[in-house]
Amino acid sequence: MSSWSEGYVSDVNYTFGYYSELNPNNAIVPFLMAGLALPESILNGQYHACELGFGQGVSVNAHATAGYAKWYATDFNPSQANFARHLSHIADNGALIADQGFNEFCQRDDLPEFDFIGLHGIWSWISDENRAILVDFIRRKLKVGGILYISYNTLPGWSAPSPLRHLLLEHHNTMTSTANSRQQNIKDSVEFVEKVFAQSPSLTQNSPQLQSRLESLKDKDLNYIAHEYLNKDWQPMYFADMQKWLEMAKLIFACSSNYLDDFNDTLYNQEQRELMASFSNPSFAQTVKDFILNKQFRKDFWVKGARHLTPYEQSEAWKKLRVLLHTPRLKIEMKASSHLNVGLNETLFNPVLDILQDHKIHSVKAIVETLKDQINEDGIFNVLAVLAGKNNLAIVQSEEAIEQARPHCVAFNRYILEQSRSSQFNISYLVCPITGGAYHIDLVQRWFLLAHIEGIAKNKQVEFAWDLLKANGLFMSKEGRTLHDDNEGKAMMKDLHKAFVEEQLPYLKCLAIL
């Protein structure tokens, strides 16, 4: 581990995940449902955004490519920064990608003030010294009215599983061999913890989460385990402690990053709702919420100078939006879930879905006008918010933003599809100019899509994908069973292709990914 990493795992690269919470457009619905104003620039024009600690840079490049912001970002791992710059060059998205530590990056004199700053999977794994650097940066560089997105490991939820992390780290640091690879040492540490837990019935019986958490590690990517569990610094926090940190940057809590995480019906039973309704202090209510739900991870928006909207302003802000239903109507379940599963009122939802089911872009104002004799506008806003929280519906960017993003998205997506000829390529997301975000497409579907855009006849696309499957030494699987018989495997691939043509292609066209 090199000195520049300051105790953070740097010899194993981070996973190639995409995190939609870092898309500033996804703050719109939660803010409006919380009755808070968003920066006008996010709603109406070009603006500046920053991601601190970008990992492999998939998210920052997706948002710089498909969105309307000029992005600035840093990650101190030079290998990851080099890959992120490569993606940025492919898409020609104009992002500033640095390989600097927080102290160096935050002192740069060429950075603008930001409307949006995002930190995903960083805060809990850095030292207090680096936290102070970030808070000072946010204080200086986040505009008044600007949004901070931050995620972190939360107490009390992490109280029970924390012994697993401690034993895993102690074994890895003191008992593994430098002659082995990092990956082998991680495997050895997981196996050791399993042996200890097998001999610790009084511990595992009193803390059953430990055993289930250990079992889940067996299916995790080893790089994920390294970054999640093996850093020198690791500090889960109570909400009140996070609030003390961010108050120094003049921030207050705004809302969760997904509306369903603030939607009482999907969080609490009746007695819990009554308890939560008794608190007049919203910050204290967040602390109690974490205890009731035993939260282990929070993904929140904070704001520098909250401006509360009047009911009229809130209504007008909603009606300026455009929305797109990208999930087929028949696949939308009439239930919503976060900590609880609740049924949805079909009398409210079906009239809205009747309008949106054509998968075209609709203005919220037009929806309100069409349904004014059936549903009041607050009911419509609630339906749209829940559908967005369920990831069935997206807020649509302006036409100017969409047209600006199209050629960059084409270049990015073509690169991802070409590289997907190799199963060793790790990015499984394509970017969308409609929403400014990215969407997961699995490997076989990417092969079908590559065949489609290369003009291969529909009746030859299965053979195209089959050849790539065999060239990568892979097999099809069904219900957890590997299909070693080629005839059985091809039959499975034909079924997948039929579903791709009937379901996936319309979805990709709807989002202008294709």
Residue 64 lies in a domain: yes
Pair 390, 404 in one domain? no
Pair 63, 130 in one domain? yes
Pair 286, 170 in one domain? no
The pTM of the full predicted model, rounded to 2 decimals, is 0.88
Number of folded domains that form the chain: 4
Pair 186, 105 in one domain? no
Tell me what pLDDT residue 9 has.
Answer: 46
Residue 476 lies in a domain: yes
Last residue of one domain, picked from the residues 278, 304, 330: 304
Name the β-bridge partners of 363. Answer: 322
Pair 49, 118 in one domain? yes
Pair 107, 213 in one domain? no
Nearest to 426 by CA among 129, 114, 90, 58: 58
Pair 267, 119 in one domain? yes
Half-sphere exposure of 319 (CA within 13 A, CB side): 15
Pair 127, 55 in one domain? yes
- Here the tokens at position 391 are 């990831």
Residue 145 lies in a domain: yes
The CATH number of whichever domain residue 55 belongs to comes to 3.40.50.150
Residue 426 lies in a domain: yes
Pair 40, 143 in one domain? yes
Tell me what pLDDT residue 190 has.
Answer: 83
Pair 148, 250 in one domain? yes
User: CA 361 from chain center: how many Å?
Assistant: 23
Cα angle for residues 423, 507, 63 (degrees, 5° grid)? 70
Cα–Cα distance for residue pair 413/62, rounded to 1 Å: 10
Residue 317 lies in a domain: no
* CA distances (Å), origin 465, targets 385, 420, 445, 476: 38, 11, 9, 11
State which residues of the chain have pLDDT below 50: 1-12
Sign of the Cα pseudo-torsion (46, 47, 50, 51, in order): negative
Pair 500, 459 in one domain? yes
Residue 6 lies in a domain: no
Last residue of one domain, picked from the residues 182, 204, 230: 230
The whole domain housing 357 covers 322-395
Pair 146, 282 in one domain? yes
Residue 35 lies in a domain: yes
Last residue of one domain, picked from the residues 395, 413, 430: 395
Tell me what pLDDT residue 290 has.
Answer: 95
Contact 493, 499 (CB under 8 A): no
Helix (H), strand (E) at residue 138: helix 128-141
